[in-house]
Chains A and B, each alone.
Chain A
């Protein structure tokens, strides 16, 4: 028994209001929360976030959300979307500041762009190459530009890579494994095509 709502996980990692606003814009019922009962009742879960990997994991742990997310997303197979840091946290581990294990739902490591040749963070609009189409990219043309802001990325070869983006190297700009989706870019800040991705996520049904 679940509500037809999207729980946007509030774990004190950046501004979540823009994600909520974007879901409101497309007519989806979304709520910002870290309340376990609301998350349990929601039928979809979104993990946004900007900031440091370790702090993100620490905050999730302190709120008791790691076990809860494992139960809801891995156990009950609820649809899940990680955005930016929220996608990186799906990985096996990150090398941001110190080696930190992630949720380990997607096998892959999160590493930093080399700042020798590139400006870091990678900020701005960059195109995706769809290598492994999934439902989120329905009606999204290949090579569409999305808005990115990040210094760390999933190495290519990551399990479930759905799209690649080039910034000096090809990195994984979105992933999908069963009910779990992640995008490194910000759909809530990528105007029409970004809202389209959120729409595709919001309408998923089991």
Chain B
């Protein structure tokens, strides 16, 4: 049986790992390579690393740091932030990433998803959508353009049609709050897509993961809970397992 994945999502800013709250107030939480080494030792299912400044600053992606992280990583590694063209994807993949996450570029030019998924395969292309609730309606939020008059589900369907392999759906309102995933947002996506949805933003305890999966999430991304709580990925999965959610726990028995 396919397992629900628990994916630490870490943010890179000025080559440091940081954590944000509602996309603001960044705190430095450590060195990227050391952090990846810890996650690898903890046998997490996957890792997402987003360079949050790259697309704002039009900076080249730091492939050296990606390569250092990939050397420590024997699980799938998704890298996002600042990918502007096909050549950028080549660089990130050659540095050792398995998938790339695209946000701003996809909003600007959805055709880019079609091009990149044709070249690299859908499995490689994760489309990231940030959503915010305004006046009772969910709208796409973009760091460059701010709030946009785009429905997140419509955008996700467009990405899917263009060949995206997965959707990383982040709730701007819940991000960093530990109050739980945005279940209302998730509810809008339930059974609407043929590709997996990774929900992100708000996990504060294992029960939040249970709620999200029951509301249609295929995978759980989280950050805050790993940095500022006592929970380890293994403990969260153990609790999900106790609640009959299929998760990968065989590594717990391997000693």
Among B71, B74, B165, B194, point to the contact of A195 (Cβ < 8 A).
B74
Contact stretch, chosen from A15-23, A59-67, A100-108, A153-161:
A15-23
Task: Write the B42-79 contact mask toward A (1 if CB under 8 angstroms, else 0).
Answer: 01010000000000000000000000001100111000
A4 proximal to B (CB < 8 A): no
Contacts A18-B96, A189-B74; A141 near B250 (Cβ below 8 A): yes
Chain A interface secondary structure, helix, strand, loop or mixed?
A: mixed
Residues of A near B254 (CB, < 8 A) are 192-193
Q: Are B75 and A189 in contact (CB under 8 A)?
A: yes
Count of inter-chain pairs, beta carbons less than 8 A? 101
Contact A119 B74 (CB under 8 A): no
Structural contact, B2 and A124, CB atoms closer than 8 A = yes
Q: Is A194 an interface residue (CB 8 A)?
A: yes
Contact A189 B195 (CB under 8 A): no
Knowing A17-B96, A119-B195, A194-B74, say if A124 contacts B43 (CB, 8 Å). no
Chain B 93-110, CB-CB to A under 8 Å as 1, else 0, gives 110111000000000000
Which segment, of A36-44, A75-83, A143-151, faces chain B?
A: A143-151
Chain B interface size band reads 35 or more
B194 lies within 8 A of A120 (CB) = yes
The answer to whether B96 and A143 have CB atoms under 8 Å apart is: no
When C-beta atoms are compared, the residue in chain B nearest to A147 turns out to be B76
A52 at the interface (CB under 8 A from B): yes
List of B residues within 8 angstroms of A133 by Cβ? none
- B1 at interface, CB cutoff 8 A: yes
Q: Name B97-151 residues within 8 Å CB distance of A.
A: 97-98, 120-124
A119 CB contacts on chain B under 8 angstroms: 193-196, 218
Also in contact, A115 and B248, with CB within 8 A (given A52-B121, A189-B74, A189-B98): no
Task: Name the A residues within 8 Å of B1 (CB-CB).
Answer: 126-127, 166
B4 contacts across to A, CB distance below 8 A: 124
Smallest beta-carbon distance A203→chain B, Å? 19
Q: Is the interface of B mostly helix, strand, loop or mixed?
A: loop
Contact of B43 among A21, A50, A188, A191 (CB under 8 A): A191
How far does the Cβ of B37 sit from chain A's closest Cβ, in whole Å? 13
Interchain CA distance A125-B2 in the complex, whole Å: 6
Give B8 Cβ to nearest chain A Cβ, in Å. Answer: 14
Q: Is the CB of B71 within 8 A of A21?
A: yes
CA distance in complex: A125, B45 (Å):
8
Question: Is the pair A126, B122 in contact by a Cβ cutoff of 8 Å?
Answer: no
Q: What's the tally of chain A residues with a CB closer than 8 Å to chain B? A: 39
Query: Which of B5, B40, B96, B195 lies in contact with A124, CB distance below 8 A?
Result: B5
Q: Is the CB of B93 within 8 A of A124?
A: no
Identify which of residues 2-17 in chain B touch chain A, using a CB-to-CB cut-off of 8 Å: 2-5
- Given A17-B96, A195-B74, is A51 in contact with B121 using a C-beta cutoff of 8 Å? yes
Tell me whether A149 and B250 are in contact in the complex, defined as CB-CB below 8 angstroms, given that A17-B96, A124-B5 are known contacts: no
Chain A contacts for B96, CB-based, 8 A: 15, 17-18, 21
- A125 and B196 CA atoms in complex are apart in Å by 13
Instruction: For A150, give the chain B residue with the smallest CB separation.
Output: B123
Q: A14 touching B121 by the CB < 8 A rule? A: yes
Cα distance, A192 to B76, chains bound together (Å): 13
Distance, CA A122 to CA B123, complexed state (A): 9
Q: Which of A50, A143, A144 contacts B124 (CB 8 A)?
A: A50
Q: A71 at interface (Cβ–Cβ under 8 A)?
A: no
Closest CB in chain B relative to A96 CB, distance in Å: 11
Contact indicator A123/B166 (Cβ below 8 Å) = yes
B165 touches A123 (CB 8 A): yes
Judged by a CB distance under 8 angstroms, whether B222 is at the interface is: no
Please give 20 more A-B residue pairs, beta carbons under 8 A apart, in addition to A21-B71, A121-B123, A126-B1.
A14-B121, A15-B93, A15-B97, A15-B98, A52-B121, A119-B196, A123-B123, A123-B165, A123-B166, A124-B5, A125-B2, A127-B3, A143-B250, A147-B76, A188-B74, A189-B98, A191-B40, A192-B43, A192-B251, A193-B254
A/B interface sample: 5 pairs, CB < 8 A: A15-B96, A52-B121, A124-B4, A126-B1, A191-B74
Which positions in A face B, CB cutoff 8 Å?
A: 14-15, 17-18, 21-22, 25, 50-52, 115, 119-127, 141, 143-145, 147, 149-151, 166-167, 186, 188-195
